[in-house]
Structure 1
Amino acid sequence: MFVFGNGRLGWSSLAVLLVLLVLAGCVKKEQSVEQGNPVSPEQLRQAAQLNAAADELYRYMMDGDIEKARDKLEQLGSKMTEIRFEGMTSVEGVSALSETIVQAKRVLQSVHVTPEEGQAAVAKIRLATDALTHANQPMWLQYYKGMKEAADQLGQAVQLRDRGTAAKQLEELQFRYNTIRPSLLISRQPFQVEKMDSLMAFMRGRLSGAESDLQQLGGALEHLRLTLDELFQRTDRSAYVPMVEPEVPMASVVLLGSVIVAILSFAAWRIFDFERNSFGGGNRRGGR
């Protein structure tokens, strides 16, 4: 039990103590935000430049100008080596972006590259750099509807034992997933991507196996749908709205603390005055 002098802790001191505890909690929360690993303005500027270069690369490729696309891809690779990615994404995310650029170089440098192959390669880069600069609403979230529909059509084909249609839908689903996989590694936890990898590999194996293997896809498809919702942070087909906790400015914390101090101090003074008049002060008046 707290004591003050020869008596118990006074109401005014207790009020101050409570206020200090409240303020300590607020300040601790504020410090926890500040003491994290924030992304510097220079990092943001470099990431924005990288994203702009990827956008130009994509437009060159869509226009069929492969020479400009190759040059822009080289510039993009050089820009990436200049960026410090701490606080922006995980090691797996950086590795995925780097590997995507390397794969695109191989595709564009091929003598027999087709427009479709080139566009698919640079689309992965475009989505990945966008995921770096738009953490809350990246472009790859737009793939949810198409992937969900492909998963539903795959499920219908499996129920009908239509192996050919099921294989076609799985191929479509795999293509879309491969396109956004680097972005997923940038935006999501690696274990979430690994779960999806395992599900896709399992279904490919069952579709290429016996009839009994095809029957086992029902449970895997349900896990696939749940994993898609987890990756896209969706529970239904409504628009994705990220939940962002607003930061509490330090000035607001101080103002709130001042109001609390004033209220509790006034209450403590009223209690102290009441006790003094009722006990100590009343006895002294009676003695006179």
Structure 2
Amino acid sequence: MFGAYNVKRLGLIITALLVAALLGGCSGNDKDKNEAEAPKPSQEQLQKADLLNRTADDMYQKLLQGEVEDSRIVLQQLTDQISQIRYEGLTSAEGMTALTQTVTDAQRIFGLAKVQPEDRQIAAAKVRLAADALTHPTQPLWLQYYDRLQDDVTGVEQAAKSQRQSDLQSASSRLEHNYSIVQPSLVIGRMPSDVEKMDSLVAFVRSQSLLQGEPFDDVLNAVPAMRQMLDKLFMRQATTAYLPYPEPQNPILWTLTFGLIILSSLAFAGWRLSKKNDGLVPVRRSNDDTR
């Protein structure tokens, strides 16, 4: 009864798959439930965060137009607004600290009597990006820095391959500088543990470039890890690996229906086999097989 045995075996396999699908569906429901229980910002929080973002943009634009004093006044307004926002549901505790520290650093730089205009612009850009990251978690402005940072990593790699330490120092310094501009925004919008890994890699490459000797192999070993972390932080892996597809409204019901159709087909096939040749599957030697 070879055919009936195979049908029965396939039926058991399908049943096991259906059970696994049910368990997976329940697990997915638990995940959705946990996500639903995560704190969500209130409308008041969102409005205050949006005002903070608009204030940061105003401060940044005034500075670009050369209105340094007006920009400093708006920065003070932004500082006052920060203390009036509840950050639960908007970002993590680390993200709140990063935002506060970024604004504090900008205040310090704006308050210096002698400071390079570029330093003020960088400080203002950090505040602008951080405030935007708080209000635009899915499409923040700092995503525009992906290509620049990848180019910086490529510069580090090329300098290490050529074994020119002066070029390596310049390339690692450029990477460190550009990364520092978006680092607070990364803490606000991404997992702090992932940001810490990237922080460590950037610091490692920079420190290696300043060492006497031949740090090139160690730097080259760090390059793939930096690229991988940038892809993860900027969410480039998921967008390039798969095409979007519509998810069924009720995956458990869909799986059960599909499984029942397969089981019905297998049962019918088994019945047909049982009626043909008394359920025996003939095994014949092929004509060209002489053994």
Alignment TM-score > 0.5, same fold? yes
Q: Show CA shifts across 1:160-212 (max 9, x none).
A: 11111221111111111100010000011111111111112211221111333
Residue of structure 1 equivalent to 2:284: none
TM-score normalized with structure 1 length: 0.72
**Residue deviations 1:229-282 (CA, integer Å, cap 9, x gap):** 11111139x7899x8x99x9xxx98xxx9xxxxxxxxxxxxxxxxxxxxxxxxx
Paired letter, 1:77: T
Map of 1:7 onto structure 2: none
**Any residues of structure 2 matched to 1:60-99 within 5 Å, and which?**
60-99=62-101
8 A contact 1:50–1:129 mirrored in 2: yes
The answer for the alignment partner of 1:115 in structure 2 is 117
Deviation at residue 33 of structure 1 after TM alignment: 4.8
Question: 2:195 is matched with which residue?
Answer: 193
Q: Is contact 1:97–1:125 with CA below 8 Å preserved after alignment?
A: yes
The one-character-per-residue Cα deviations of 1:36-56 (angstroms, maximum 9, x if unpaired) are 211111111000000000000
Give SS of 1:77's match: helix
| Paired AA for residue 91 in structure 1 | A
Give the Cα separation in 1 of the matches to 2:119 and 2:31.
Answer: 49
2:61 alignment counterpart: 59
One-letter identity of the residue aligned with 2:185 = S
- Name 2:176's counterpart in structure 1: 174
Does the 8 Å contact 2:56/2:131 carry over to 1? yes
Q: After TM superposition, which residue ranges in structure 1, 4 or more long, deviate above 6 angstroms? A: 24-30, 238-241
The match for 1:162 among 151, 160, 164 is 164
SS at match of 1:42: helix
Structure 1, gaps ≥5 residues long: 1-20, 258-288
SS of corresponding position for 2:214: helix
SS at match of 2:49: helix
Distance 1:185 1:150 in 2: 20
Residues 233 and 240, structure 1, Cα contact 8 Å, conserved in 2:
no
Q: Deviations over 1:142-171 (max 9, x none)?
A: 000001011112101110111112211111
Superposition deviation, residue 214 in structure 1 = 2.6
The match for 2:209 is 207
Residue of structure 2 in register with 1:134 after alignment? 136
- What TM-score comes out, normalization by structure 2 length? 0.71
Q: Percent identity?
A: 36
Instruction: Kindly provide the amino acid, as one letter, of the partner of residue 208 in structure 1.
Output: L
| Higher mean C-alpha displacement, 191-200 vs 89-98 | 191-200
User: C-alpha distance in 2, partners of 1:75/1:239?
Assistant: 41
Task: Give the CA deviation at 1:30.
Answer: 6.8
Unaligned runs of 5+ in 2: 1-21, 254-291
